[in-house]
A and B are shown apart, each in its own frame.
Chain A
Amino acid sequence: MAVTKVVMPKLSDAMESGKIIKWLKKEGDRIQGGDILAEVETDKADVEMEAFGAGVLRKILVPAGETAAIGALIGVIAEPGDDIAALVASAPAPVPAPAGAVSATAPAPRPAAATPSAPPTPVARPAAVVGAPAAVPAGLGQGFQSGRVKASPLAKKIAAQTGVDLRLIQGSGPGGRIIRRDVEAAGSGVTSAIAMPAAAAGAEFEDVPLTQIRAAIARRMPLSKAPVPHFYVTSEVAMDHAWELREQLNTLEGQPKISVNDLVIRACALALLKHPGVNASLQGDAIRVFHRAHIGIAVALEDGLITPVLRDCHAKPLAQIAVEARDLVERARNRKLRAQELSGATFSISNLGMFDVTEFSAIINPPEGAILAVGSVRRVPVVDESGLGVGRRMMLTISCDHRVMDGAMGARFLQDVKRLLEEPLRLLV
């Protein structure tokens, strides 16, 4: 019978390593292909890991709480009679994680003694997070860096000189290679951190280690804001009819509850079909225009934010959008998203309406070309033909990648979103 290697899967685009939260199967359990073997914490979410082979889970090489790089052998599935000694022996010996290093790209398994499953707690630490090279234990040295991080030789040299931790940078070179401009961009942000004095007991500050998700945000956002020339277009939407329609819909028995955000998603999906130039992404020397609207929904978490993707919104009726969006948001909060639900958005929506926010502007999540920031629905005085009255208004601000589209294109898209929301029956037909 075949021996199946269980390796740390790549569960998201930016993932470089994953931490085993827990094994759902134990050594000796019989496994069918598709069984959930373990839960893995990635830079984005907690994801269930499926088995690919059938047999008995003969060996667990990376226990719960420990981290393994993508592709690292973490277990073996085989029949009881199969000889797996050589395979197990070939697995790299567990290497202690560098003290205090951010776990985003931590090297392969840590020993169990490293208090693995404890959540990251604020600790006063003497060294700044970015000073990591000095914190790498002897024996890891170059191999540790080059084995996990793809960086040009020049980028490595500059990183070493300026104290930038390459593991915290996402490369913009071919295949994600970190090149000089990435290190220089990162270096401009961290130099002050390097100079920070050590935190003594009772000091005025503490250095909280980055969680995987915060490290991913810290890595990705400068890659949007710095290289992507953002422009913003804001529009106010009269939400009176939409509000009324929603209340009516929500009195219908047996129908899912519809949120304002569901209306916005539906409106955006329809408008994206009409304005494919906004549903677009810069791909090297071409603009990729998408014919389907996969919409990322930003979900706030305690330690960061995550953007699960609602696929094919253009082809889904409002009720289906409502059900699926609620499911995605709940599972995002519980960190139960599957890997494929975290990538592939062509456009995103960020809604801070629940925080009584009038308006804001969002940072584009590359390679998407635009993101819509949604404010609260507010009751405000309005003037119309009949005089002064009270109306419901909502501010929408779209952030657009100017390399992909121009102001008028963003404005026309927003105009259509506004029209769809102001004449909300259009969302139902």
Chain B
Amino acid sequence: MAVMTYREALNMALREEMHRDPSVFVIGEEVGLYEGAYKVTQGLLKEFGAQRVVDTPIAESGFTGVGIGAAMAGLRPVVEMMTFNFALLALDQIVNSAAKMYYMSGGQFNVPIVIRGPGGPAAQLAAQHSQSMETYFYHVPGLKVVRPTTPMDAKGLLKSSIRDDNPVIFIESETLYNVKGEVPEDPDFLIPLGKAIVRREGTDVTVIAYMGMMYRAMEAAEELEKEGISVELVDPRTLRPMDTETIINSVRKTHRVVVVEAGAGFAGMGSEIAASVTEQAFDDLDAPVERVTGSNAPMPYARNLEKLKTPSKDWIVAAVRRVCNANGS
């Protein structure tokens, strides 16, 4: 194991897969000469050449379409969105072509494409650049959606995404690129898609969170531990397919659930998980499922308002106390 940043772990995954499989190539804005807006593709142009590291015009719909066509023709493109908010420009390509091609061609064409880039709230990137973009994609049948929380997950899940024969939406985060963690250097290290992980064992309440919210939930769990509330943390890692089995097993143990998501709550991941828990573990619930979500507003630019929009450790602590009916007493 080596300790490295999330950014370096992604870079390592790309390099290893490009070495392993000559059909893998990278395409997007500034991925080559500039080595990526967030330096995830650092060194790749030099190492693999301009045929496999392709700089494009500012034209998301166009280069995403190029990627989908290349995937149908047998290559394994990794398309970078400079931020995932820009994927809205390519929504028709992703939703109507990538996601549906296998179905509508009667199985003649699969689309082994990875579309990756940072998304979700960051630091003062304002309304248009802070959206939790996964919500736009996990609704669509035919897409897989991955949100890796740690450097190890970033490597293991990106490699699995590249090897997957279906389109994968792989959303990173500006706020996590510099997070350090242990990462296996083994080029065969993979984390399968659709497998959640229990990041912390506990007995009183299950908190489900991913990305930055998982780090807030960790802090909340430590604070609640001092009050005698034992929190189990579950990170789904892949949002679609969702590993409900791991979640339900945890609920059967703790009997209480809090779901945390950074985006606005309406019809969000919290709603979906709450529904699954109610359908599959109703008789195990000792309290209604609580959701902790971003406020129902565009992300403000002002730093103080940005804090009010995004779930914090304190929001999570309060929700856990509510479902445990502890109220600090």
Interface residues of B in 225-283 (CB under 8 A from A): 255, 282-283
Say whether B284 faces chain A, with CB atoms less than 8 Å apart: yes
- In the assembly, what is the distance between CA of A364 and CA of B283, in Å? 34
What are the residues of chain B within 8 A of A225 when measuring CB–CB? none
* In contact, A153 and B284 (Cβ under 8 angstroms): yes
Which residue of the partner chain A has the closest CB to B325?
A173
Q: Cβ of B329 < 8 Å from any Cβ of A?
A: yes
Nearest B-chain residue to A178, judged by Cβ? B286
- Kindly provide the distance from the CB of A223 to the nearest chain B CB, expressed in whole angstroms: 14
- Closest partner residue, chain B, to A180 (CB atom): B286
Q: Mark A148-180, 1 if CB is under 8 A from B, else 0.
A: 000011111100000000000000111000011
Assess whether B128 is interfacial by the CB under 8 Å rule: no
Residues of B within 8 A of A180 (CB): 255, 286
What residues of A have a CB within 8 angstroms of the CB of B178 in the complex? none
- Measured between beta carbons, the chain A residues less than 8 angstroms from B325 are 172-174, 179
Whether A179 lies near B329 (C-beta < 8 A) is no
Check if B203 is an interface residue, CB within 8 A of chain A: no
Interface size of B in residues (CB-CB distance below 8 Å): 12
B327 near A: Cβ within 8 Å? yes
CB-CB under 8 A from B284, the residues of chain A are: 153-154, 157
**Contact present for A179 and B283 (CB under 8 Å):** no
Q: Which residues of A contact B4 (CB under 8 A)?
A: none
Q: Which residues of B contact A285 (CB under 8 A)?
A: 327-329
Instruction: Determine if B285 is an interface residue (Cβ-Cβ < 8 Å).
Output: yes
Does A143 reach chain B (CB closer than 8 Å)?
A: no
Enumerate chain B residues within 8 angstroms of A284, measured Cβ to Cβ: 327-329
Chain B residues with Cβ below 8 Å from A172 are 325
Interface residue? A379 (CB, 8 A):
no
B328 touches A152 (CB 8 A): no
Does any Cβ of A come within 8 Å of B287's Cβ?
Answer: yes
List chain A residues, Cβ under 8 A from B322.
174
- Nearest to B287 among chain A residues (CB) is A152
**Min distance, Cβ A157 to any Cβ of chain B, angstroms:** 5
A153 touches B329 (CB 8 A): no
Compute how far the CA of A172 lies from the CA of B283 in the bound complex, rounded to whole angstroms: 19
Given known A-B contacts A154-B255, A285-B329, A403-B329, A173 and B283 have beta carbons under 8 A apart: no
List A contacts of B328 (CB < 8 A): 284-285
Residue in B283, B285, B329 whose beta carbon sits within 8 Å of that of A282 in the complex: B329
Contact A152 B329 (CB under 8 A): no
Does B327 lie within 8 Å of A179, measured CB to CB?
no
**CB of A212 to closest CB in B, whole Å:** 28
A403 to B287, CA, bound (A): 24
The reply to whether B285 and A152 contact each other, CB–CB distance below 8 Å, is yes
Complex Cα spacing A174 to B322, Å: 9
A residues within 8 A CB of B329? 282, 284-285, 403
Q: Are B327's CB and A152's CB within 8 A?
A: no
B322 to chain A, nearest CB (A): 8
Q: A173–B287 contact, CB under 8 A?
A: yes
In the bound complex, CA of A153 to CA of B278 (Å)? 10
Contact between B283 and A157, CB atoms less than 8 A apart: yes
Q: How far is the CA of A285 from the CA of B329 in the complex (A)?
A: 6
CB atoms of A153 and B327 under 8 A apart: no
In angstroms, Cα B282 to Cα A403, docked, is 34
B230 to chain A, nearest CB (A): 15
Residues of chain A with a CB closer than 8 A to B285's CB? 152-154
Report Cα–Cα, A273/B325, bound state, in Å.
Answer: 32
Question: A154–B327 contact, CB under 8 A?
Answer: no
Contacts of A179 in B (CB 8 A): 286-287, 325
The closest CB in chain B to the CB of A156 belongs to B283
Give the residues in chain B near A174, CB-CB below 8 Å: 287, 322, 325
Min Cβ gap A403→B in Å is: 7
Contacts of A157 in B (CB 8 A): 283-284
**Alpha-carbon distance between A275 and B284 when the two chains are bound, in angstroms:** 45
Task: Chain A residues near B327: list those with CB within 8 A.
Answer: 284-285
Chain B hits for A153, CB < 8 A: 282-286
Complex Cα gap A156–B285 (Å): 10
When chains A and B are docked, how far (Å) is the Cα of A156 from the Cα of B286? 9
In the bound assembly, the distance between CA atoms of A44 and B283 in angstroms comes to: 33
Report B289-329 CB contacts with A as 1/0, cut-off 8 Å.
00000000000000000000000000000000010010111
Closest Cβ–Cβ distance, residue A76 to chain B (whole Å): 37
Q: What are 22 inter-chain pairs, A to B, with CB distance below 8 A? A: A153-B283, A153-B284, A153-B286, A154-B283, A154-B284, A154-B285, A154-B286, A156-B283, A157-B283, A172-B325, A173-B287, A174-B287, A174-B322, A174-B325, A179-B286, A179-B287, A282-B329, A284-B327, A284-B328, A285-B327, A285-B329, A403-B329
Chain B residues with CB under 8 Å of chain A are 255, 282-287, 322, 325, 327-329
Q: A153-B284, A154-B255 are in contact. List 6 more A-B contacts (CB 8 A).
A: A156-B283, A157-B283, A172-B325, A173-B286, A174-B325, A285-B327
Top 6 nearest A-B pairs (CB, nearest first) are A284-B327, A285-B328, A154-B286, A285-B327, A152-B286, A157-B283
